[in-house]
């Protein structure tokens, strides 16, 4: 793919700078009621739909929920694969009026965004990888939106090259753009039936080489505590206080298995919410683990804590309802080893060193994996996501784009 380096660099930079200026901040509260959570996400989606048509893609699905899927017809026999990115940016930092700063020929010094904010290469040590190259930052007042407009720009750049060149052999390719990833609700209305892809890749990771194929097994539990209310004058031996029941339940959760006490491969119990009155109280708890047996152990533990509280509060009732949220994508990826083997080949051909990362969370890719389409997550090249100190280097975007082009070829082999 080296023959395309120069053209990729121009195209991906031009697209990236244009996309980040389009305001697409999503809203975590509104996302519970509607998709997309903010109308402004259509501004980028409409642009992408138009650009797909301009580069010659005519097989396009686009709906009122903000899902945009374009299909490039193959020029040889191969299984359909997809590439996915999200158009929204996180609400953690302002995302309106983004003014990307292009630092050409980066000299290794501290980058001053404004008087009070700087990016220090002693802290952001990856900057040293890009001496003499072009680095893009914010002006210090907003986030940059490389998460995930770098992914969007990389996919669109690869698509435009595939459409304009006969040199690259490929099967059918689906380009998938989604809203509201940052709200956690991005896949709730995903039109899975539209997809033909047998495997997908999200372009939504961070630093160059990052490759994510493992996430949590995630469950959520709702606990309901029922007490017995008696006037305090005659409460002795009769009152069963749901507030006390709920608080004793929460105190049973092992503190050394909380998110604040764990990292790496350790799972946890995470108490999210407690509320109630004498009569009824409720608690919401999240369970997280990388291991299928361990997550079941945690589910069982919630039931045994409930039995212990009932025993300690005669007459009181504890109801436990546990729901699966998402599963570790590794399980499905291991059943389809070609999906990861091909990424590894694609990295190698783009001279990218893979850094496998386990995600202490889930992604849109893990949701898609659960729907039956194995979807690991590939780097975009961005750093310091969701912050005013977000930055990205152009060579990393070029490499990510090359990984996409390599992948489409490798899937035909």
Residues that bind Zn ion (CB under 5 A): 147-148, 204
Q: What is the sign, positive or negative, of the torsion defined by CA atoms of 46, 16, 385, 269? A: positive
In this structure, which long-range contacts are made by residues 304-310, counting pairs with CB atoms below 8 Å and at least 24 apart in sequence?
305/249, 305/252, 305/253, 306/223, 306/249, 308/252, 309/225, 309/245, 309/248, 309/249, 309/252
Q: How far is the CB of 273 from Zn ion (least distance, A)?
A: 26
Report the residue number, 49 or 147, with the smaller CB distance to Zn ion.
Answer: 147
Report the residue number, 204 or 390, with the smaller CB distance to Zn ion.
Answer: 204
Q: Which one of the listed residues 154, 172, 174, 181 is annotated catalytic?
A: 181
Q: Which one of the listed residues 49, 88, 154, 210 is annotated catalytic?
A: 88
Q: How far is the CB of 385 from Zn ion (least distance, A)?
A: 7
CB 223 within 8 A of CB 304: no
N- to C-terminal Cα separation, the chain: 16
Q: How far is the CB of 89 from Zn ion (least distance, A)?
A: 8
Q: What does the alpha-carbon distance between residue 271 and residue 194 come to, in Å, rounded to a whole number?
A: 37
Report the residue number, 24 or 244, with the smaller CB distance to Zn ion.
Answer: 24
Distances (CA, A) of 267 to 147, 217, 295: 26, 9, 8
Q: How far is the CB of 363 from Zn ion (least distance, A)?
A: 8
Report the residue number, 147 or 210, with the smaller CB distance to Zn ion.
Answer: 147
Report the residue number, 148 or 409, with the smaller CB distance to Zn ion.
Answer: 148
Indicate if 88 belongs to the active site: yes
Residues 6+ apart with CB under 8 A from 378: 201, 202, 203, 204, 205, 210, 211, 212, 343, 400, 403
Q: What does the alpha-carbon distance between residue 131 and residue 315 come to, in Å, rounded to a whole number?
A: 70
Peptide bond into 36 cis (omega under 30): yes
Q: How far is the CB of 148 from Zn ion (least distance, A)?
A: 4
Report the residue number, 205 or 395, with the smaller CB distance to Zn ion.
Answer: 205
Q: How far is the CB of 345 from Zn ion (least distance, A)?
A: 25
Which segments within 19-132 are labelled E, that is strand? 59-62, 68-72, 81-86, 101-103, 111-114, 117-119
Q: Which tokens in the block code for residue 34?
A: 């509607």
Q: How far is the CB of 177 from Zn ion (least distance, A)?
A: 12
Instruction: Give the number of other CB atoms < 10 A from CB of residue 315.
Output: 12
Q: What does the alpha-carbon distance between residue 57 and residue 175 come to, in Å, rounded to a whole number?
A: 10
CB 57 within 8 A of CB 71: yes
Residue 137: which of 325, 318, 393 has the closest Cα? 393
CB 289 within 8 A of CB 295: yes
Report the residue number, 136 or 410, with the smaller CB distance to Zn ion.
Answer: 136
Q: Which residues are the active-site residues?
A: 88, 181
């Amino acid at each position: 793919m080296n023959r395309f380096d120069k053209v990729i660099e121009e195209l991906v930079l031009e697209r990236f700078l244009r996309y980040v200026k389009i305001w697409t901040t999503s809203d975590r509260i509104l996302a519970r009621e509607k998709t997309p959570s903010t109308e402004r996400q259509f501004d980028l989606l409409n642009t992408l739909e138009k650009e797909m048509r301009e580069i010659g893609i005519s097989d396009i699905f686009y709906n009122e929920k903000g899902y945009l899927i374009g299909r490039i017809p193959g020029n040889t026999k191969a299984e359909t694969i997809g590439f996915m990115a999200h158009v929204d940016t996180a609400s953690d930092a302002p995302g309106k009026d983004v003014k990307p700063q292009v630092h050409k020929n980066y000299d290794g010094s501290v980058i001053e965004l404004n008087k009070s904010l700087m990016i220090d290469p002693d802290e952001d040590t990856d900057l040293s990888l890009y001496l003499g190259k072009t680095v893009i930052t914010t002006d210090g007042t907003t986030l940059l939106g490389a998460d995930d407009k770098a992914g969007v720009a990389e996919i669109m750049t690869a698509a435009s090259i595939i459409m304009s060149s006969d040199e690259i052999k490929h099967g059918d390719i689906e380009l998938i753009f989604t809203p509201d990833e940052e709200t956690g609700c991005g896949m709730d209305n995903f039109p899975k039936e539209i997809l033909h892809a047998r495997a997908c890749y999200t372009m939504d990771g961070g630093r160059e080489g990052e490759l994510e194929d493992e996430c949590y097994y995630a469950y959520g539990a709702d606990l309901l505590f029922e007490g017995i209310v008696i006037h305090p004058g005659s409460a002795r031996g009769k009152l069963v206080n749901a507030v006390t029941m709920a608080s004793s339940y929460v105190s049973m959760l092992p503190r050394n298995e909380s998110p604040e006490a764990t990292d790496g491969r350790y799972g946890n119990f995470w108490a999210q919410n407690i509320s109630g009155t004498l009569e009824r109280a409720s608690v919401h708890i999240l369970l997280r683990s990388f291991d299928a047996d361990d997550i079941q152990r945690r589910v069982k533990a919630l039931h045994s804590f409930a039995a212990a509280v009932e025993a300690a509060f005669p007459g009181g009732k504890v109801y436990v309802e546990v729901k699966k949220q998402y599963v570790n994508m590794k399980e499905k990826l291991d059943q389809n080893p070609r999906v990861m083997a091909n990424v590894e080949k694609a990295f190698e051909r783009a001279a990218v060193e893979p850094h496998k990362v386990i995600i202490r969370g889930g992604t849109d890719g893990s949701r898609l994996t659960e729907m039956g389409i194995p979807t690991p997550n590939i780097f975009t090249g961005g750093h310091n996501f969701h912050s005013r100190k977000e930055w990205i280097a152009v060579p990393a975007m070029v490499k990510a784009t090359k990984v996409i082009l390599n992948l489409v070829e490798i899937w035909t082999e």
